[in-house]
Amino acid sequence: MPAVERPLIYANLRKPGYTVDIDCYLRNGGYEALKKAVALKPDEVCKEVELSGLRGRGGAGFPTGMKWKFLDRKSGKPAYLVVNADESEPGTYKDRQIIYKDPHQMLEGIAITAWAIQAKQAFIYIRGEFVHGAKILERAIAEAKAKGFLGQNILGSGYSCEVVIHRGGGCYVCGEETGLIESLEGKRGYPRIKPPYFPAVLGLYNCPTIVNNAETMAQVKHVLAFGGAEFAKIGIPGDSGTHIWGVSGLVKRPGLYEIEAGKATFGELLYDLCGGPLDGRTIKAIIPGGSSTKILKVGERFKGKLANGTEFDWALEDIPLDSNSIAACGTGLGTGGTIVIDDSVEMIQALSNLNAFYAHETCGQCTPCREGSLWLSRVSKRITTGGGMETDVPLLLDIANQVAGRTICAHGEAVAWPVQSAVPKFKDEYLESIRKRQKGEAVPTLKLI
Partner 1 sequence: MHESPSSSAPARALKPETLTQAPAIIAQYPQKRSATMPLLHLVQEDRGYITQDDMTWVAELVGVTPMQVLEVVTFYPMYRQSPIGRRHVRVCRTLSCALRGSYALMENLEQSLNCKRGETSPDGDFTLEFVECIADCGCGPVVHVDASMHENVKPEDAGKFAAQLKATLKDPSYGLNPPVPGTPEWNG
Name residues contacting partner 1, limited to 31-70 (CB under 8 A): none
Between the alpha carbon of residue 3 and those of residues 257, 261, 267, the distances in Å are 10, 12, 9
Q: Where are the alpha helices (DSSP H) in 194-292?
A: 214-226, 228-231, 266-267
- 93 or 159: whose CB is closer to partner 1? 93
Residue 331 near residue 289, CB atoms below 8 Å: yes
CB of 140 to partner 1, least distance (A): 11
Name residues contacting partner 1, limited to 282-321 (CB under 8 A): 287, 291
> If binding means CB under 8 A, how many residues of this protein chain bind partner 1?
67
CB of 225 to partner 1, least distance (A): 25
Beta strand 242-249 with 337-342 is: parallel
Query: Residues of 164-181 as b/e, b for ≥16 C-beta within 10 angstroms?
Result: ebbbbeebbbbbbbbbbb
- 255 or 394: whose CB is closer to partner 1? 255
Name residues contacting partner 1, limited to 231-290 (CB under 8 A): 246-250, 254-256, 287
91 binds partner 1 (CB under 8 A): yes
- 143: CB partners within 8 A, 6+ apart: 21, 22, 104
Residue 176 near residue 190, CB atoms below 8 Å: no
Q: Taken in order 100, 104, 109, 114, is the CA torsion positive or negative? A: positive
- C-alpha 440/C-alpha 429 separation (Å) is 17
Q: At what angle do helices 32-39 and 103-117 cross, to 10 degrees?
A: 0
CB of 56 to partner 1, least distance (A): 18
Question: What value, to the nearest 5°, has the Cα angle with vertex 16 and ends 12 and 19?
Answer: 60
CB of 279 to partner 1, least distance (A): 15
From candidates 55, 57, 67, 96, binder to partner 1 by CB under 8 A: 96
- Which of 167-175, 298-306, 309-317, 383-391 is the region at the interface with partner 1 (rule: CB under 8 A)? 167-175
From candidates 170, 237, 394, 405, binder to partner 1 by CB under 8 A: 170
357 binds partner 1 (CB under 8 A): yes
- Which of 3-11, 90-98, 223-231, 264-272 is the region at the interface with partner 1 (rule: CB under 8 A)? 90-98
Instruction: Break the chain down into helix, strand, coil percent, rounded to 5.
Output: 45, 15, 40
Return the SS3 of 319.
coil
- 78 or 227: whose CB is closer to partner 1? 78
CB of 34 to partner 1, least distance (A): 22
- Which of 45-53, 61-69, 120-128, 396-404 is the region at the interface with partner 1 (rule: CB under 8 A)? 120-128
121 binds partner 1 (CB under 8 A): yes
- 17 or 299: whose CB is closer to partner 1? 17
- C-alpha 4/C-alpha 269 separation (Å) is 9
From candidates 131, 142, 146, 229, binder to partner 1 by CB under 8 A: 131
Of residues 142, 219, 159, 212, the one with CA closest to residue 39: 159
Reported in sequence order, the residue ranges of 119-265 that DSSP labels E, i.e. its strands, are 121-126, 162-167, 209-213, 235-236, 239-240, 242-249, 255-260
Binding mask 178-207 for partner 1 (x = CB under 8 A): -----xxxxxxx---------------x--
129 binds partner 1 (CB under 8 A): yes
Return the SS3 of 255.
strand
100 binds partner 1 (CB under 8 A): yes
Q: Which spans of this chain sit near partner 1 (rule: CB under 8 A)?
A: 20, 78, 87-93, 95-97, 100, 120-121, 127-132, 135-136, 162, 164, 166-172, 183-189, 205, 246-250, 254-256, 287, 291, 337, 339-341, 345, 350, 353-354, 356-357, 360-361, 363, 446-449
